[in-house]
Chain A
Amino acid sequence: MTYLSRLLVALSLVAAFGLIAPTGAQAQVNPTESSVNEDAMFQALGGENAIVSGRTTIPDRAAGNLIQPDNKAWAALQGQTLHTLSIVAVVGMVALLALFYVFRGKIRVESGLSGRTILRFNWVERFAHWTLASTFIILALTGLNLIIGKSVILPLFGEGVFGTISAYGKIAHNYLAWPFMVALALIIVLWVIHNIPDKVDLQWIKQGGGLLKKGVHPPARKFNAGQKVIFWSVVIGGIGLSYTGFMLLFPSIAGSAADWQFYQIIHALIAAALSAIVIAHIYIGSVGMEGAFDAMGSGEVDENWAKEHHSLWVEEVEATQKRNTTQVTTPAE
């Protein structure tokens, strides 16, 4: 190879490098262009409902959540679905009871009032019942107001009345929850022993509790199957409401916003169901049945009422009384 050809090769190599170098620089990406993109970010996070979050200078870490589209789903559920559901539950139950009243009327004591009474609930039982009942009614009404008040009370009574009711209602709801929980515990302790399901209940259910026909009186102990249903609804529903309500009051214990939203939905669903059940309970304990209110009023019920609705319980009470009196009349040896 001549010097000339070597020189040519060397020159061409230099020229090639000279050409390659700038192309390499040109191929480099623009760093500002490779920025995070909203659409791509949502996709990378797993769909349109992912939470986009980052860092903020605010101590509250939740403030770092930039966009939480899922919150809108809860808003729709709370603002529309639960709103409609609550109205349907309460109005539906009232309508059902009105129909029942029209067709069945007030359930009378068929053998007439005897004038003799026996003690059905002592003062501790009545105290527990009425504490639970009064707090529940206020909690139910103030809770219902939070969901349907704006479409019922607001248009009827105006902003001033509705605002005052809602503000005090919220305070009442938050504070009366505690005596409600205490009374609930008391109820469980007092009555759980009488509410364990047994064979007698099957017969009661088969005969429809004697609710639908006159002259039908299935036997029952202190609590019949219907009352047991009420008891367990109140106990399970009450515990559910207490637990979810506690979480709603203390969001930091509940966890994330999604957890809080979950508890809120459960709270509202249980509340709607239990309110409907309790409305039926109030009906049958007051206008629906003659002699029933005395059980929780004075605690003394008419003997004929007791025989018709709680025949086995009356026998138990009478047996105990007889045993007690024989014990007293038998002189000590």
Chain B
Amino acid sequence: MARMKFLCDADRCIECQACVTACKNEHEVPWGINRRRVVTINDGLPGERSVSMACMHCTDAPCAAVCPVACFYTTDDGVVLHNKDTCIGCGYCSYACPFGAPQYPQTANFGTRGKMDKCTYCSGGPEPDMSQAEYVKYGANRLAEGKLPLCAEMCSTKALLAGDGDIIADIYRERVVTRGYGSGAWGWRTAYGDTVTV
């Protein structure tokens, strides 16, 4: 079984924000929520790099460890999903996540955060695959259609890679060897315990 991961090759990312836009459009993400975002490090300085970041679908996900209502589950593909019917919007997962993935549709006063929303790796939620109920709560289920996450699929420079962890690590390794440099698999050590070594 594949173990799905994301890898952003920061040496290719041109900060075009197309992944962000594609994600919002594909899933009809509510206002104010960014399931994916692009962070530019050393902005305006030599060696500036941009990294596209979303939920990394961690091994031993810390969000699942702190969730008081146990609404998280990991699929056979290694994707970390959650059940919005169970979620009480307590906000704990947003403090446990090292990548700032969990977000909430309401930010008014206390107790009204709303159900948490995050990247689903384009694979919906606990509802039947590709059902209307699933689409309304979690967005499209591209994995069930045999497709990979849209953000990575439409990345113009192929900076953002999605797919089986071993395969995308090999692709990245080959790139680093060919061009002679690489800024690293951002977030891998934190999410999966070890990074891609070349």
Contacts and interface: CB of A to CB of B under 8 A. Distances in A.
Interface of A: 30-39, 41, 48, 52-58, 62-72, 74-76, 78-80, 145-147, 149-150, 154, 159, 162-163, 166-167, 170-171, 174-175, 249-251, 257, 260-261, 264
A54 B67 CA distance: 28
Given A56-B38, A58-B34, A166 B69 contact: yes
Interface string B96-136: 11111000000000110000000000000000000000000
Contacts of B91: 251
Interface residues of B, number: 52
B178 interface: no
Given A35-B181, A257-B95, 10 more contacts: A36-B41, A36-B47, A54-B51, A56-B37, A63-B37, A64-B39, A75-B96, A163-B86, A174-B111, A251-B91
22 contacts: A35-B181, A36-B10, A36-B49, A38-B183, A39-B184, A53-B39, A54-B43, A55-B39, A56-B37, A58-B37, A63-B100, A66-B187, A68-B98, A76-B62, A78-B92, A78-B96, A147-B68, A162-B69, A163-B86, A170-B90, A261-B95, A264-B95
A38 B68 contact: no
B93 to A, nearest CB: 9
A6 to B, nearest CB: 46
Contacts of A58: 34, 37
A163 B98 contact: no
Given A35-B10, A39-B184, A75-B65, A55 B40 contact: yes
A146 B67 CA distance: 8
B180 interface: yes
A38 B195 contact: yes
Interface of B: 10-11, 17, 34, 37-43, 46-51, 53, 62-63, 65-70, 85-86, 88-92, 95-100, 110-111, 180-187, 189-190, 195
Contacts of A38: 183-186, 189, 195
Contacts of A264: 95
Contacts of A171: 111
B17 A57 contact: yes
A35 B180 CA distance: 12
